[in-house]
Structure 1
């Protein structure tokens, strides 16, 4: 499933406090991960929880794109919206305006669908922090254009959950192929419990050098 069955619901302070323990545990369980920790230092997920709607929008924009391309398009979308990325402003923006930022037609539709659900009160993003990882995924994949990967990215970067492992993430697959000589993702994920989100961050960092 890619999620910790008993994942703890964290607040901002909890994530900061868990990082030292995570580093110790990951070093003990995996010498390659120990090398990555030495190379990249303290994991930079956090410390403050970001605004949930904006985090989800950026995750949706990043679907099937490189990190560089996703960041560029996200910045252009924010510029098109005059630095106000909110459900109301997104709903009022024309598709042509969003397309000028580099969004596909389908992503324009999906972002507007998300905005409508949030603006109407049908989807309460602030309440997701009270749910388990799997319940968050169940809620989010009901939204058009949101699949499991997007929900998992929201868990990691939007809610700072410590034990999420996205088996469908292309970057993680490449990093593991580069570093672990054919080892199975599921096997490695078991080594990294209950800090798989943090292990994932180090794997993503390793791609910056490839």
Structure 2
């Protein structure tokens, strides 16, 4: 006997229950986000529970935003630009060794950049001349706007303000880097980057498995925004406005949805876990 649509939806929702051990391992807000997403898309249960999400694990101490941690995140993002994760970690490790075992504060780098010899020592860690210029811009930003950015980073609901501020004031930090900082540095839950390759690729797979959703979003579109991603023989590139509209369905938890898309873009659970660990630690 053929099941009704209501029966299928009921069965999917009953199956989309997060395991107790998964719930216990993650923060309350993240579990709330997962429950919200699963209420809209129960089929995500397997990809969500495939492995833990390191960024959202339950912490022994409350997460605290500090200028030092924010500076370190942004500095490491600059160092890691356009090189492999392994190379970025190697350079970061040498910088840490240069500053006696800890990543330098913006005050320490400010002093270091005043001294040509010390600046060359930073260059000697593998930091290119261009990236040293970017780091100097970042250092000056933190030194000159210390109180302003401390207040801004600790306020919630101002994601676009943070993005605009970083892009306008720091050389080498673009929109994508600013969004990634919002996620890893400030732990914002409603960030979505349609320009991210992994997100676009994961959304392509999601659309291919949900043609009715694609049809619905296409019918509702009011503006066509072409994707900047190049056409690929391995996956179909969809227009940016469709990817953005797809993400909007999961607001105010688009960050978590983007993590799901990253998982959908991969085929190996170990690769997924390693990529997420690397992303969180950068």
TM-score under structure 1 normalisation?
A: 0.77
Structure whose alpha-carbon radius of gyration is higher:
2
Work out the CA distance in 2 between the residues paired with 1:186 and 1:149. 14
Q: Number of paired residues?
A: 196
Which runs of 4 or more aligned residues in structure 1 lie more than 6 Å from their structure 2 counterparts after TM superposition? none
Work out the CA distance in 2 between the residues paired with 1:122 and 1:22. 32
Q: Are the structure 2 counterparts of residues 187 and 71 from structure 1 closer, same or farther at C-alpha, using a change threshold of 3 Å?
A: farther
Q: Does 1:120 align with 2:144?
A: yes
- Aligned partner (choices 124, 128, 133) of residue 109 of structure 1: 133
Q: Does 1:88 align with 2:107?
A: yes
Once the two structures are TM-superposed, the CA of residue 148 in structure 1 deviates from its matched residue by: 0.8
Q: Are the structure 2 counterparts of residues 185 and 61 from structure 1 closer, same or farther at C-alpha, using a change threshold of 3 Å?
A: farther
What does residue range 190-205 of structure 1 map to in structure 2 within 5 Å? 190-204=248-262
Aligned to 2:74: 56
Q: Are the structure 2 counterparts of residues 79 and 136 from structure 1 closer, same or farther at C-alpha, using a change threshold of 3 Å?
A: same
- Aligned partner (choices 214, 223, 244) of residue 186 of structure 1: 244
Work out the CA distance in 2 between the residues paired with 1:32 and 1:62. 34
Q: Does 1:34 align with 2:45?
A: yes
In structure 1, runs of 5+ residues without a counterpart are 1-14
SS where residue 188 of structure 2 aligns? coil
In structure 2, runs of 5+ residues without a counterpart are 1-25, 209-235, 276-282
Q: Does 1:156 align with 2:170?
A: no
Over the residues paired in the alignment, what is the CA RMSD in angstroms?
A: 2.9
Work out the CA distance in 2 between the residues paired with 1:147 and 1:62. 14
Contact 1:30–1:191 (8 Å) recurs in 2: no
Q: Does 1:135 align with 2:161?
A: yes
Contact 1:19–1:43 (8 Å) recurs in 2: no
TM-score under structure 2 normalisation?
A: 0.59
Work out the CA distance in 1 between the residues paired with 2:145 and 2:51. 41
**Bigger relative CO (Cα 8 Å, ≥ 6 apart):** 1
Moved more, 129-138 or 66-75: 66-75
Work out the CA distance in 1 between the residues paired with 2:262 and 2:93. 21
Work out the CA distance in 1 between the residues paired with 2:48 and 2:186. 22
